[in-house]
Structure 1
Amino acid sequence: MWKLKVAEGSSPWLRSVNGHVGRQIWEFNPSLGSPEELAEIEKLRKEFRNHRFEKKHSSDLLMRFQVQQTRRNSSENLFCWLFITVDVLHSQDELFKVDHLYNWLILSNVKDVPSNLKITYIGFSALVLVYIISEFSKENPSTTNLPQVKVKDIEDITEDKVATTLRRAISFHSTLQAHDGHWPGDYGGPMFLMPGLVITLSITGALNAILSKEHRREICRYLYNHQNPDGGWGLHIEGPSTMFGSVLTYVTLRLLGEEPNDGDGAMEKGRSWILDHGGATAITSWGKMWLSVLGAFEWSGNNPLPPEIWLLPYILPFHPGRMWCHCRMVYLPMSYLYGKRFVGPITPTVLSLRKELYTVPYHEIDWDIARNECAKMLSCVGAKYSFMLPFHCRRIYYPHPVVQDLLWASLHKAVEPVLMRWPGKKLRDKALRTVMEHIHYEDENTRYICIGPVNKVLNMLCCWVEDPNSEAFKLHLPRIYDYLWLAEDGMKMQGYNGSQLWDTAFAVQAIISTNLADEFGPTLRRAHTYIKNSQVLDDCPGNLDFWYRHISKGAWPFSTADHGWPISDCTAEGLKAVLLLSKLPAEIVGEPLDAKRLYDAVNVIFSLQDYRCE
C-alpha cells in the first residue's frame, strides 16, 4: 500500500536547509494494508474511473484515507497501551529495572533517558499513561463532534449556526494537517509535465530504477483516466484534446511499457486521434524539442534555440536574463540541448514511435516545413471538427509576424550551420559552458528541486549529457519524488513541489478570521512553526546581477524553504499570517517571528514594487 511521508529525507544525495520541512513524498510498502483496506482503496479508484468525465479532479481520497486509518490506529494503540498499563498495575514486582522502562522509552522515541533509571510500578504506569495520552493528543487533535447544520429557506441564519458550521469545518481541516504544520495536497492538472520526466529517465537509463513497477502502474492509471472521449489528451486534465498533450502522453505510455494496442483500445484511440489531426509534425515547439531528444523527431524540424543569446550584453531588450523567471529557466536547458543537438539512444520503441506518430514514412518528412507546423484546436470549434478549418489555420496556432519567420529562417539556414562547424563551433562551445554554469547554479540553490517541474527534468538531462556519472545527476534523482503526487486518479507530476506555504498561510488567515483561534491552538501553533521554518533566510551566493537573480533573504516561497525561489505574493501572505499570529497569545500559537525577519520580508516586498507605480 502507498503511504504519504512528510518531512523525511534519508537519501545521502538529498540536501536541505531545514531538515526537509514541508517535503511530501509517496512511498510504496508491500507489507502495508489489510485486505479490507486495499479493497477500499480499489473501490475509490474504480469510482473515480466510472465518473472521470463528469469530475476531472481528484478529491485526494488516498491521503484522506491514510489520515483516517492513522487516527483509527492511534486510537487502537491508545486503548492497547491502557490495557497494558492496567495489567502493570496488577504486577507484584516492586521495581521496574532499566531493562523494561528504558527499552520502552527508547522505542517510544523519548530522548535523553538516564541509563540508571528505576521507578516504582505505579510511577511507571502513570508515566506511560501521561506520555501516551500526551502524544496521542498532539498527533490527533480532538475534533468537535457537532451536528451538521441545515438551514431551511424560511429560517434565519443565526450566529450560533454559523459558528457551529465553522467549528466543524476547521476541525475537519485540522485533521488533514501534517505533523510539520503544513497541509499536504494535490497540485496536479497539467498533462505535459510527466512526459518530460519519463522521456528523461528513459534516455538516461534510470526509468526502472527511479520509477518502480508500482509507480509506473499508477502513472499509467492517471494517463488513461484523463484521456478524453475522442481519444486525445489535453494540455491539462480539463482541456480539449491537443496535439501537444496527445503525442507526449502517447509517447509516455509507450516508454512506460504499454504496447500500441494496450489499454482496452485506449492506445489505438490515442494514435488514431494523432494521425487524424495531421500527425506529430504538428506538435508545438516544446513537443518538438522533447521528441527530438528522444530520437522520434529531427532537430532540423525545430526553430532555433541558440545558446549564444546568453553571451549577448544584458542591455539588449531580448536578453534572456530579462525574461520571466519560468520562461528563462526553461529556455536555458533547452538551448543547451539544442546547441548540442543531443539525441538519446535509438531503441526499438523509438523506432516504432517513428512509424506510429506520422502520416507519412519518417524518412519522407519535410522537416523544414515541420518547423512551423502547429495543429490548431480551437475550443469554440472543438477538436472533433478541426478538420473543417482552413489548411493554414491547422498548420499554425498563432500567425507569426513576417520578421519572426525571417529571423528564424536566417538563424536556421545561415547562422546555425556556421556555429556547428569550426571556427564558429568555438563560440558554440563557450555558450554551452556558460549555459551549464547557470544550470548548476539553479540546481545548487534549489537543492536540486529547481524552480519548476519542466526545468527540473531538463536540467537533470543536461547534467547527464554533460557527464552521465556526475554528482549533479545523482543529486537530481531523489528530488524527482518531490514532484510526484498520488490520488485516486493515479500518480501525476505536480506543477511545483507542492503549494505548502501558500496553503498554510491562507489556512492561518482563515482560521483567525473566524474568531475561534483560541479553540484551535495546536493547529495554529503547528502552522506557525511551518511558516517560520519556511522563510528564506539567505540570498543566493555570488553576484546576483551576474546570475540574473533578485534578493531572497526574508522572502517566502510557494512551497518549501528548500525550493527557495522568492515570490512576491507568497511573501506578502506569509508576512500577513505571521503578523496575525503575533497578535495571539504565545502560549496558544507559539513565539512570534523575530522582528528582524519581519523587516527582511518587508524589504523583499518593497524591492519588488514597480518603481513606475505611484
Structure 2
Amino acid sequence: MWKVKYGAGTEDPHLFSTNNFLGRQIFEFDPNAGTPEKRAQVEDARQNFYRNRYKVKPCSDHIWRLQMLRENNFKQTIPQVKVEDGEEITFQKADAAMRRSMNFWSALQSPHGHWPAENAGVMFYIPPLVFCMYISGTIDTVFNEHHKREMLWYMYCHQNEDGGWGLHIEGPSMMMCTVLNYLAMRILGEGPDGGLDNACARARKWILDNGGAMGSGSWGKTWMAILGVYEWDGCNPMPPEFWFYPSVVPLHPSKMFCHCRLTFMPMSYLYGRKFVGAITPLIQQFREEIYNEPYKNIKWSKMRHVCAKADNYYPHGSVQRLLWDIVYYIGESVINTWPFN
C-alpha cells in the first residue's frame, strides 16, 4: 500500500535541503502497510475513481485523505448544517458550518504544518521522464514495478473516452499528449494492444484516425525526435545560438514566459546537438505504429508546419511561417558553416 512520508530525503546523499526537508512529502510503497480491511478500502477508492473517471476528473487526493484521517483518528462531532432554498442563514448555522470545516481541515494538516496535495493535471509531465529513463538505460533502476504500475494507472484514469489524452486532465484529446502517453505506456511494458480496457489500441486508433504522430505540436515533435521516433528535420529550428545574443535584442529567448524559457533552453541544446537516443527494437516498433505511412517514406522537412486540428489552437500566419523557413533553410546553413560552426 502507498503511504505518505514527510520530511523524506535526509537519507539520500544526492538530495540536500536548507530547512531539513520541511514541507517535503513523497509517497512510498510498503507491501506490509495497513490491515487487509484498510488495503481493501484503498483499493475500493481506486476502483471507484476509475469507474467515475469521466464524470469527476480530479482525484481529490482521496487516498492521502484516507491515510491522514485514519492516522489522526478523525471523527466529525459537529452535525452537518443544511440550509434550504429561501431559508435565512443564521449566525448559529454559519458558525457551525465554519467549525465543522475547521475540524475537518485541521485533521488533514501534516506534521510539518502544511497541507499536501497532488501537483499534477498536465498530461505531458510523466512521458518525458519515462523517455529520459529509457534513453539513459536506468528505467528499471529508478522505477520499480510499483512505480510503473502507478504511472500506468494514472494514464488509464485520465484517458478520454475517445482514446486520447488532453493537454490536461479536463481537456479534449490532442495529438501531442496522446502520442507521448501512448509511447510512455509502451515503454512501461504494455503491448501494442495492451493496457486496461484496451488503452493502447484505443490510443493508437485515435492517433492514426487524426492523421498520425506528425501532427503533434512542437514540444511533442521535439520529444519524439529525442526518443528516435521522429526526425529533427521535421522540427522548426531552435538554434542554441539565439541564447548568445545580447539580451537587449527584442526577441531574445530570455524574455519568454518562464515556463517556455526553461523548456526551450534545454530543448535548443538538444536541437543543436541533434541528439537521438539509441534506436532499439522497441523504437523501431514505435515507428511502425504511430504513422499512416512507412517511416522511411515520410518527407520530414514538409512536416514542420503540419499540426493536427486538435493541437492547432493558434494557427501560424504566413509571416511566421516565412520566418521559420528563413531560419530553417538559410540560418541553419550559415550556422553550420565555418567559421560559425
Report TM bin, short chain.
Answer: over 0.9
Say if 1:4 and 1:63, in contact at 8 Å, map to a contact too: yes
Residues 1:307 and 2:240 aligned together? yes
Say if 1:374 and 1:397, in contact at 8 Å, map to a contact too: no
Q: Counterpart of 1:200 in structure 2: which amino acid?
A: C
Residues 1:51 and 2:52 aligned together? yes
Residues 1:199 and 2:131 aligned together? yes
Q: Distance in 2 between matches of 1:194 and 1:230?
A: 21
Per the alignment, residue 203 of structure 2 pairs with: 270
Q: CA deviation at 1:296?
A: 0.3
Residues 20, 358 of structure 1: alpha-carbon distance in 2 compared, 3 angstrom cutoff: same
Say if 2:69 and 2:108, in contact at 8 Å, map to a contact too: no
Gaps (5+ residues) in structure 2? none
Q: Distance in 2 between matches of 1:34 and 1:261?
A: 36
Per the alignment, residue 66 of structure 1 pairs with: 67
Q: Distance in 2 between matches of 1:290 and 1:355?
A: 17
The counterpart of 2:179, out of the listed 229, 247, 264, is: 247
TM-score computed with the length of structure 2 as normaliser: 0.95
The counterpart of 1:327, out of the listed 260, 269, 278, is: 260
Alignment of 1:105-504 (within 5 A): 145-153=77-85, 155-263=87-195, 264-377=197-310, 397-425=313-341
**Greater helix content:** 1
Q: Distance in 1 between matches of 2:47 and 2:256?
A: 44
Q: Distance in 1 between matches of 2:243 and 2:13?
A: 34
Q: Distance in 2 between matches of 1:367 and 1:277?
A: 18
Q: CA deviation at 1:398?
A: 3.1
Q: Counterpart of 1:22 in structure 2: which amino acid?
A: G
Q: Distance in 2 between matches of 1:207 and 1:298?
A: 24
User: Which of 1 and 2 has higher RCO (CA within 8 Å, sep 6+)?
Assistant: 1
> C-alpha offsets along residues 227-250 of structure 1, whole Å, 9 cap, x if unaligned?
111111111111111111111110
Q: Counterpart of 1:413 in structure 2: which amino acid?
A: Y
Say if 2:57 and 2:169, in contact at 8 Å, map to a contact too: yes
The number of residues matched between the two structures is: 339
Residues 144, 59 of structure 1: alpha-carbon distance in 2 compared, 3 angstrom cutoff: closer
Q: Distance in 1 between matches of 2:54 and 2:171?
A: 12
> C-alpha offsets along residues 389-444 of structure 1, whole Å, 9 cap, x if unaligned?
xxxxxxx553323332222112212222343354332xxxxxxxxxxxxxxxxxxx
Percent of residue pairs identical? 47
Alignment of 1:480-559 (within 5 A): none
Q: CA deviation at 1:147?
A: 1.5
> C-alpha offsets along residues 28-63 of structure 1, whole Å, 9 cap, x if unaligned?
112212211111111011111111111111121110
Q: Distance in 2 between matches of 1:346 and 1:256?
A: 17
Gaps (5+ residues) in structure 1? 73-139, 379-395, 426-614
Q: Distance in 2 between matches of 1:144 and 1:26?
A: 26
> C-alpha offsets along residues 482-526 of structure 1, whole Å, 9 cap, x if unaligned?
xxxxxxxxxxxxxxxxxxxxxxxxxxxxxxxxxxxxxxxxxxxxx
Q: Distance in 1 between matches of 2:256 and 2:93?
A: 51
Say if 2:133 and 2:139, in contact at 8 Å, map to a contact too: yes
Residues 18, 416 of structure 1: alpha-carbon distance in 2 compared, 3 angstrom cutoff: same
289-298 or 218-227, which deviates more: 218-227
Residues 156, 265 of structure 1: alpha-carbon distance in 2 compared, 3 angstrom cutoff: same
